[in-house]
Structure 1
Amino acid sequence: MDINKDHAAIDIKLAETLSKKFKTLHYPSSKECCIYRVPQSQRCLNPSDYTPHIVSIGPLHHGNEELKAMEDNKLRYLHHFLQRTKVSMPEFVASIRKKEARLRNCYAETIDIESDEFVAMILVDAVFLIELFLRKYKGDFRTDDDPLFGESELSFLGIQMRFDLYLEENQLPLFILNELFDLAKIATYGDIYSEISLITIIRFFFSKDSSFLPIGDTNLIDTHFSKAKHFLDLIILCLRPSSQSRDKRRFNYQNIPGIKELHQAGVEFDSGRGRSQSRLHITFENGRLIIPSFTAFGGRTERLYRNILTFENMQGYPRYFNDYVALLCFLIRTPKDADLLIQNGIIGLGDSERMSSVLQSLKKSCIMGSDFQYANVVTDLLHYCKSEWHGWTATLKQNYFNTPWASISVIAGVILLILTVVQTVCALIAL
């Protein structure tokens, strides 16, 4: 027996087996790829923040037993959607089939779902989103048997479900929603979709979520919609500053002072209300730290922010949102820091203790890189805080002029002191 020949045959067979696997490999187009599985190292720290609780959208959580309760409602939505248009279901299916390769390329991993099931899933999930936005936009589209809408605009179930729509692993490419809605509008029963576009209903839906979405101006959706790959991408595009350079110098994050420390050094705080600008546009001007106002952080905000941070990093975008959250984490270390911003109208009323806790938790999801977009702001703050004059005047204001009555008392005391001195001088002159 020739052992060497046997090994050679085994090696050739093994090589052929490995070569066959090349044919099944998924090579996503770098241009199309935009939906990722959250790395396990991140997921294991906060698994529920990356996992849908009510509804699965797209293939990454498709078939999850815990989310199957919503599948029948998706089919009801598809049924009602088809009843309003003269376009047949086979036409919708054919439209998706033509885009199947492009849709699969949007996902960073191989989607192990056969073609028919994949196309059907995309149709059901895409129409579910369109129908949800339509029903939110206009009550005429709603039905009495819809568990997502009660007497109010959304039922409790609907409110819980909407947070699933902003998860990194729960996204559908926007282009397919746009194509299906435009296809439905080609021939309808009546003018039900007159003057309604996908941008219109998405902007309206986002505006109703403004309490926790970090988009300051929902009109930015119109500006960035054509470039957005999905909902999470649309949020990031609306947040990115129009022009803001990143400092390439080495930066020491530990030098960032907290809000209370800044307050004691004489820094004043302003929400910049009335200025049309990005939520991320934090500046320091003439002793005033301008932080655009936002709602206090809670569990839902934490969940959303983690997903935005993850997507921004995995998509390879400049870390504008990452730096924004990192700066807030350092500025708001304690409940007292949050309280000062609440008093100055920068943070909406909320639980300051909960907020500082959430931010310190989010800090673990931030990347502390060598470049930091707020490096100049922090440098100017540190320079300002070093001035003894600013600290002295701040102490005077905070301890002696913090209320109108305190100011009156100090002024009265000064006047009394001056009069006493004058009286004393006059008495000495008389001698």
Structure 2
Amino acid sequence: MTFAAVDVIRAKRDGGRLSDEQIDWVVDAYTRGVVAEEQMAALAMAIFLRGMDDGEIARWTGAMIGSGSRLSLDVARPTVDKHSTGGVGDKITLPLAPLVAACGAAVPQLSGRGLGHTGGTLDKLESIPGWRAALSLDEIAAQLNSVGAVVCAATEGLAPADKKLYALRDVTSTVESVPLIASSIMSKKIAEGASGLVLDVKAGSGAFMKTVPEAQLLARTLVDIGTAHGVACTALITDMSTPLGRAVGNAVEVAEAVEVLRGGGPADVVSLTVALAREMLALAGISVDPAEVLASGEAYEVWARMITAQGGDPSASLPRPSSVHVVPAPASGVLTSLDAYAVGVAAWRLGAGRARKEDPVQAAAGILCHAKPGDAVVAGEPLLELHTDTPEAIPAALAALEGGFEVGAEAPAATGIVLDTVRP
């Protein structure tokens, strides 16, 4: 069935509900270039302003999945994946994938690169000498069967409509639309073919969703899409008001992830890794305590095999920066706040992130947080450590950190990393 693009745009502009046939046609026609960029821009803005109901969102997601191929991996283990909506210091995929694999599941983690103040998993892993992100479908399947976990770039042909629409939304101020965000995330994740999916939906200054209610709405939409498409889903709402862990950047986050896999690491990173692993294993039907497996060292062994399988050397030294700048504590007392967004922007300006998708990143760039909220600090002692290969970027990073931390007399009230859980 063929429609006129202007009629589809008008229907949504006027607050109407798009039919299944209209959705299927417009997504397919846009992917093929029949619907022009300016027409899809107008439709995206109409969706941004008017919204979509659950049925429309599910159908839109299905149409984007149908615009390309869907992975069908021949894997003996139950497959389960995790997706994070992005944050600062969010290196959780690195310890999580090998941990869940060590517990008996297969984790096909197709990841992306960072943009702006949020880091990208592939950028972090590429700081490991020799490691490669691009794998063929045969390589992915072979590694899942032999190692149990793979973290790599998305293969060509998965939800091409989303790739095209994502770029358009970025330049038309239509990114912040829950229907378009949710369908973008889920079209790619469902196309990966995992039978279970756990969603880590961040809330706070360093997250896309700044408040818990906004994150809950997105989480509910994501879980409902998964349910509509036959994928078992659970979502955790997690705190992103302060950076995760003490390392923000690329190589520094890999080093911290290895600490966790060796039985150490910051408590918040360990806590969230274990919480997400428990949800993933529950969806996979595996009754194993991930905390015990993590403490045993088995997850580190899987990590080493996973990195080696993709050409990396897990024992190689990670890149070190040519310039280090220490930010001292301004006073003695207790660190009462450390803003995730401020730290993320500072790390980005140091070279850990990119402003455009084609920009390079520095493997050694990033920030080490010597204190987290609740820790005692001493005036003049190191609070933050800035790493970069471009020392001329340090003033801009320091400007981003202005007002980003406070020292007071009393520790802030302790809160857990997991704020809420959303199930079907």
Tell me the TM-score normalized by structure 2. Answer: 0.28
- The two structures have a TM-score, normalised by structure 1, of 0.28
**More strand by proportion, 1 or 2?**
2
Bigger Cα Rg: 1
